[in-house]
Amino acid sequence: MGRKVCLITGATDGIGLVTAQELGKLGWTLALVSRNAQKGERIARELRHVCRNEEIYFKQADLSLQRDVRRVARDIAETYESLDVLINNAGAIFWKYQKTAEGIEKTFALNHLNYFLLTNLLLDRLRAAPAARVVNVASMAHRGVSIDFEDIENKKVYENFRGGWIAYQRSKLSNIMFSNALSRRLEGQNISCNALHPGFVRTRFAKDNGGYFAALVSIGMTFGAISAEKGAKTQIHLATSPNVEGVTGKYFDLCKPKEPDSRALNESDQERLWDVSEDLTRSSR
């Protein structure tokens, strides 16, 4: 059997970077996708050295932009005949309301539509692998919110002073709903799809927001968070462990399946979210 091929988004920092390092050490071929080309090329160089693995490449894409998601998916499909593992990990919180250059609210664009579009564009390459895995990094922050289909792009939510947090919670709920809807569509095929909570992890997460929110997160992380090495364990488990071969449509925490919030399991909402996501990604074709 040849080397496994794996695409990891957000692999230039935090738990994505640790995941890349561990999978690189296994001798896997890695495509690391993030937005900053200079940082990404440097990280890929360092990982090739540390992992003694020449098959680690960086691909630049701002994943909040559908044109970049499509470009990177095309590049991957042209470069690799098959894809064994796709780890949708890149994500962020935006404390203030922002739109992408394509006119979509940024939390929803990066944290959900990117997972949805990239995965769908790569399904043929995943199907070409003997037993492929899609790993969606969600969060326990999904608990306690629901998707408001009348306000899918969080406009009303951001009127609340905690709006950025609620938009983030909804995006992480969407990650689990998407995982479940996808695993239903892939039933009987060779692709599993699971979501996970990595823990509260000391990373660069939220720091780009500046101000009191970033300061609060930073204090919380200093005293209450686990290391990125520990935080990466569940996604590495889902990407590599023989124990999860064939397991699909589950939500994991601490490397074990866990029941998500019941709102993540509502099939009609999952299907509605799928349809909305399809609509919102169609025009960028």
Ligand X SMILES: NC(=O)c1ccc[n+]([C@@H]2O[C@H](COP(=O)([O-])OP(=O)(O)OC[C@H]3O[C@@H](n4cnc5c(N)ncnc54)[C@H](OP(=O)(O)O)[C@@H]3O)[C@@H](O)[C@H]2O)c1
Quote the least distance from Cβ 212 to ligand X, whole Å: 18
For ligand X, which residue of 21, 203, 234, 270 counts as binding (CB under 6 A)?
203
Burial class (CB in 10 A: 0-12, 13-18, 19+), 144: exposed
Burial class (CB in 10 A: 0-12, 13-18, 19+), 245: exposed
Give the residue, chosen from 14, 163, 164, 260, that forms a contact with ligand X under the rule CB under 6 A.
14
Q: Largest Cα–Cα distance in the chain? A: 54
Residues, the chain, total? 285
24 vs 129, beta carbon nearer ligand X: 24
- The 71-110 site mask, x for binding ligand X (CB under 6 A), equals ------------------xxxx-----------------x
Q: Is 57 a catalytic residue?
A: no
> Is the Cβ of residue 13 or residue 105 nearer to ligand X in the bound state?
13
Binding marks (x or -) toward ligand X, 38..57, rule CB under 6 A?
A: -x------------------
The burial class, CB within 10 Å (0-12 / 13-18 / 19+), for 279 is exposed
Q: Which token pair is 115?
A: 């997972």
> Rounded to the nearest 5 degrees, what angle is found at the Cα of 206, between the Cα atoms of 213 and 70?
140
* CB closer to ligand X out of 231 and 249: 231
Instruction: Kindly tell me which residue out of 30, 51, 62, 132 binds ligand X, with binding defined by CB under 6 A.
Output: 62
For residues 213 to 252, the per-residue mask of contacts with ligand X, x marking binding by CB under 6 A and - elsewhere, is ----------------------------------------
Active-site position among 57, 80, 168, 251: 168
Tokens 């909040």: give the residue.
Answer: 64
Query: What separation in angstroms does the CA of 66 have from each of 173, 243, 254?
Result: 21, 34, 32
34, containing H or E segment:
strand 29-34
> Which positions are catalytic?
168
Residues of this chain that interact with ligand X (CB under 6 A) are 10-16, 34-36, 39, 61-64, 89-92, 110, 137, 139, 197-198, 200-201, 203-205
